[in-house]
Structure 1
Amino acid sequence: MNILILGSGGREHAFAWKITQSPLCDNLFVAPGNAGTSELATNLPISYNDFDAVAEAVEKNSIDLLLVGPEEPLVLGIVNYFEQRSEFKKLKIIGPDKAGAQLEGSKDFSKMFMQKYGIPTASSRTFTAETLAIGLEYLESHPLPIVLKADGLAAGKGVIIAEKHIDAENAFTEMLVDGKFGSAGNKVVVEQFLKGIELSVFVLCDGEHYKMLPEAKDYKRIGENDTGLNTGGMGAVSPVAFADANFLRRVEEKVVKPTLLGLKSEGIKYVGFIFIGLMNIKGEPYVIEYNVRMGDPETEVVLPRIQSDFLALLASAGKGTLNDAEIKISPQVAVTTVLVSGGYPEEYEKGKVITGSEKVEDVFVYHAGTTLNGNTEIVTNGGRVMALTGVANSLENAVHKSQRAAQAVQFEGKYFRHDIGMDLIRYND
């Protein structure tokens, strides 16, 4: 098979790494890719949101399977684009169409969907600029803290947790009146704050059947002990100590099955990944959000634990035969630590030379924001630069491997969290 992966982050490098292990893989392409994917595949210098250029690449390289990494092209309708063109009817695409992608593309849609199909979630109300006054009145009497979410895609920055009513009212007005998140904030979802332990569950669907993938916990805040600004993710751990077999069974019965039944009832044939952000509240799962793709950096701990042929799983999802596929999960623990550019998640510089990654042993090195400087040196090219994954028989050893690698790789301004997984070690104790 010839495969094209869309995206340029650590998630896409992990996909490429896993797919090249399959005997089914003939040729692999990544668009646009990074310095890491260039060692495994052919990088194509095209934007994943340029559907015409993607279609040209699919045709030119006789692509059999298209794996869409990020959410944006899915929300913009890349699946619909290909479905409308008869010459691509044999192309298998891993990712939902525009209707299915609303689960992530619209917080308002996903909340209404959960309420309609009885999926446990926080109570919420949605407001627009026209209902600003009603919204401000609603906020005044809302229990603290208050969660405000921009309805559309806001590059992971559209969620605000306000500890004071005045802060909630200011943020609400900034979104709806001042256009803080552009059109993504034309609607604002005001949500009850849920107190519990957060984790993510991943499901691969073929439109009819599904397979549960390993769960993970990620670390969003820039600072140690979950302080400071939100980021795209500073690290991740899989499996998750507080998600035992009973809890995951509840997730499957109360969340996964009703979600897939709901999609079917809405006439949506969902092919691809569903990433379910959950809160574990006294052993009961509550959905915080849906994403319509794999997470990053969660992919970098989920894929090393999948022992079966990952490409065979994807091909089964594309053909609608996932029920016949086998998935085998390793009991080992995977921990990833993300190296970021100095200043991230705010202003940061690019082009810093990276050294030491080739000497790192016994970890998986996944490139994220990297590129080649004149085909010789690897340099930084983004906020999140690399994810370093250690796999071991114990959480402590996996943490040690990942952290040791994070210290070994060097570039100017490098920053990483030293406490990834430490809360789970304490939980185990």
Structure 2
Amino acid sequence: MPRAGPGTFLRWATRHGLLRLSVAAAARRNDPQARHFLDPMIREDPYPFYRQVRQTGALVGGHLTWSTARHDVATEVLRSDAFSVDPDTLPMPAPIAMLRDLGRRRMPVGPIDPPSMLVTDPPEHTRYRRLVVKVFTARAVESLRPRVERHCADLLDELGRAAPDGGPVDLVAHYASLLPVTMIAEILGVPALLRQRFLDWGAAVSPALDLGLSLGQFRRVEAGTRQLNDWLRGHFANLRADPGDDLLSQLVLPNSEGERLTEDELVALAGLLMAAGFETTVNLLGTGTALLLAHPEQLALLRAEPRRWPNAVEEILRYDSPVQTTGRYCRADTEVAGVRLRRGEIVIPMLGGANRDPAIFADPDRFDVTRLNARDHLSFSSGAHYCLGASLARLEGEIGLRSLFEWYPDLALGGVPRRRPTRVLRGYDHLPVRLRS
């Protein structure tokens, strides 16, 4: 890979480099939030840390940010108009703002770059969401059920051919990553022959959703993002000339009200759907498989009562959320949980911690697929930025896990799983299984 140019370096420095320096400085002052960022033991199992934060207070301050692991406070922050998802709302010294703006020249459009919905507030966010939400309604997603079932059957057949002797075989590489990328590629009108290339792009781009990347990691993200941008722009031109019935074909042309997205808005939306749609489901499928293999009594219950599979997916999402944390920026002085916050301060809702709040979930550290209020989790966020693809992730999780254990009833771990090295995103990048005993 070529050396990073000045633009790439400036973007890395203002997004990740300064954060890494700030975290290191906070760690020298024994800041607990810096421990959350740096300690590999917390990354492996963050839940004792979340419990400590929750017991310390409703909103816990550090040298860098405020944090909450309480369900009610996290929900309040996520739904409040006093907070923004756009880091540009943060006041910053003029020289740093100038460097940030210089770095944005000729940069590729990634999932966390404007005009992505992840970093856009209303009214722009409302406009983007209105244009695509009809594809992701519960009814529209339910109509995809036969297609998801067909793709699961094809992929599980391929999985068996990849391990003719029963394994071990990596479930992430051969199943958990393929189902979401196949579905999102189909929704975006990507030819099936490009599935592997789309998977490679997804793997390259999705680390952009994490914090504090090294310069090398950031360069790889930008290289993958630029390749995806170039392909998408050509894809849009083809769809304008010969549209299909997929989502992007609907978006590249003006709608009935004459509204249309700019080229950069289309690129940002497609990249976000690819990265976010891929990340949530691959982690849900891998984590769900590992949890059910570790709790055979819960798996036996699902086999005896298959109607419980949708609720089991909710409990997997609650118990070990694919997205562990998110961030909000105070756009105005406000008060949360009795704490006065000033404009520009940052609050980190710890979604994984809120999902284990005993004030909401009885015996929260117990994995229970019959839990009545499992769906009250915050794994898909809340408020205006509630995950657009939540219904699709739920459907893929339900069918993907149920089909896996039906096709391979003797499925068992075939080695030591390896967790992903990310902090915001939680899941496995290697999950060896045996298909037959």
Kindly indicate whether structure 1 or structure 2 has the higher relative contact order, using CA contacts under 8 Å at least 6 residues apart: 2
- Calculate the TM-score normalised by the size of structure 2: 0.24
Higher strand share: 1
Higher helix share: 2
- Calculate the TM-score normalised by the size of structure 1: 0.25
